[in-house]
């Protein structure tokens, strides 16, 4: 008997923003100087590095709590549980509910409380709270739910990753092309059999790395009273991730006792196509192996980077046969892994 994912759901926004959308933007460097390249060159280089051709944005009428609730409903229906039996609702996000046209993040009440309200759950013993852990937030929420269930504090938990990053991007920063919106949700409970979480690992590197991703002013210094936007030091993140993430993944896999040859899929945070490929290559190289073809499903080319939502959305799509050439079956061993603001890293080895 293990702590098992018994239901999944995701919300993929209908608004498609292709790379061409950015052709008329004016991009500046962090110091406020104008980037000395034509936008078509900037966009071409961006596509080559990140793999992103398009991303998804939510409708103006929606907010993060709305899309989190939609993904949650699908996971609940998929698991066939009674929602009044939920012990925990854990929602991972980073910027709260940012309404369309607003410059202020709204995190009071918590997104989790808003989701509980939207789901019309009456049971006061269903505890709802948020996790702020950067892009690895959904995985960390799953780790926490696993601990609650194993400790006898819960029998069922709803863990959601949801973000509306289109509301916090600086149109004058070329990094704005990376980010997108979305939500993914999972139901965790105890189940008979061999399925469940086999091992997990988390780490925070904050001595030098805490501010690699931060909230800052527009790159266009002529914008007066600029609100804060999501910002990052991309090169530093890339170099950090290529060293630390493969090491964490290996430590987690070794802790599980599962040989790497038995690992069927790696569901890694969809941050950057080249970076994710390099991380996976380095992970397998630690075992003197090359990664098997198709071991790392990717959605970043069409969905962009929706932060905490990328991993649960990716898993939901593959589990339900919605990605061509990708599938997981009962008994397969997979890994969830992520890196993000904090700087935080985590991983889970899981038997489906």
Helix (H, G, I), strand (E, B) or coil at 334: strand
Please give the model's pTM, rounded to 2 decimal places: 0.94
Residue 93 has what pLDDT? 97
Asked whether residue 227 carries a pLDDT value surpassing 90, the answer given is: no
Domain 198-351, CATH among 3.40.50.150, 3.30.360.10, 3.40.47.10, 3.10.150.10: 3.40.47.10
Cα–Cα distance for residue pair 144/136, rounded to 1 Å: 12
CA neighbor of 135 nearest in space, from 219, 212, 56, 228 = 212
Residue 194 has what pLDDT? 79
Cα–Cα distance for residue pair 299/314, rounded to 1 Å: 7
Average pLDDT taken over every residue of the chain? 95
Cα–Cα distance for residue pair 177/21, rounded to 1 Å: 9
Residue 244 has what pLDDT? 97
Lookup result for tokens 């190289």:
285
Identical fold between 2-193 and 198-351 = yes
CA neighbor of 65 nearest in space, from 7, 125, 6, 11 = 11
Both tokens assigned to 222:
């002529």
Cα–Cα distance for residue pair 303/17, rounded to 1 Å: 9
Cα–Cα distance for residue pair 345/240, rounded to 1 Å: 11
2-193 has which CATH code?
3.40.47.10
> Domain extents for the chain?
2-193, 198-351
pLDDT digits (tens, 9 = 90+) for 154-212: 999 999 999 999 999 999 999 999 999 999 999 999 987 778 999 999 999 999 999 99
Cα–Cα distance for residue pair 309/186, rounded to 1 Å: 11
Residue 78 has what pLDDT? 96
pLDDT digits (tens, 9 = 90+) for 38-47: 999 999 999 9
């Amino acid at each position: 008997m293990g702590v098992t994912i018994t239901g999944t759901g995701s919300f993929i926004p209908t608004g498609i923003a292709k790379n061409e959308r950015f052709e008329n933007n004016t991009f500046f460097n962090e110091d406020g100087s104008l980037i000395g390249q034509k936008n078509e060159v900037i966009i071409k280089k961006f596509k080559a590095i990140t793999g992103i051709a398009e991303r998804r944005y939510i409708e103006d009428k929606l907010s993060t709590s709305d899309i989190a609730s939609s993904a949650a409903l699908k996971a609940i229906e998929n698991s066939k549980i009674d929602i009044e039996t939920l012990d925990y609702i854990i929602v991972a996000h980073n910027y709260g509910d940012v309404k369309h046209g607003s410059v202020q993040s709204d995190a009071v009440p918590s997104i989790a409380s808003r989701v509980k309200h939207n789901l019309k759950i009456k049971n006061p013993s269903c505890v709802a709270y948020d996790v702020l852990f950067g892009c690895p937030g959904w995985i960390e929420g799953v780790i926490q739910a696993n601990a609650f269930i194993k400790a006898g504090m819960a029998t069922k938990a709803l863990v959601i990753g949801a973000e509306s990053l289109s509301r916090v991007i600086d149109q004058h920063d070329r990094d704005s092309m990376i980010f997108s919106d979305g939500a993914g949700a999972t139901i965790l409970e105890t189940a008979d059999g061999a399925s469940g979480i086999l091992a997990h690992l988390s780490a925070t590197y904050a001595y030098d790395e805490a501010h690699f991703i931060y909230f800052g002013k527009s790159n266009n210094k002529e914008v007066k009273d600029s609100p804060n936007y999501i910002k990052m030091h991309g090169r530093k993140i890339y170099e950090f991730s290529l060293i630390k993430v493969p090491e964490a993944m290996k430590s987690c896999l070794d802790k599980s006792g599962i040989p790497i040859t038995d690992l069927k899929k790696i569901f890694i945070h969809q941050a950057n196509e080249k970076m994710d490929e390099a991380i996976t290559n380095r992970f397998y190289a630690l075992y003197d192996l090359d990664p098997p073809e198709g071991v790392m499903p990717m959605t970043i080319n069409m969905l962009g980077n929706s932060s905490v939502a990328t991993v649960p959305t990716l898993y939901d799509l593959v589990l339900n046969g919605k990605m061509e050439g990708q599938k997981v079956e009962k008994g397969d061993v997979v890994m969830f892994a992520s890196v993000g603001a904090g700087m935080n890293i985590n991983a889970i080895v899981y038997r489906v």
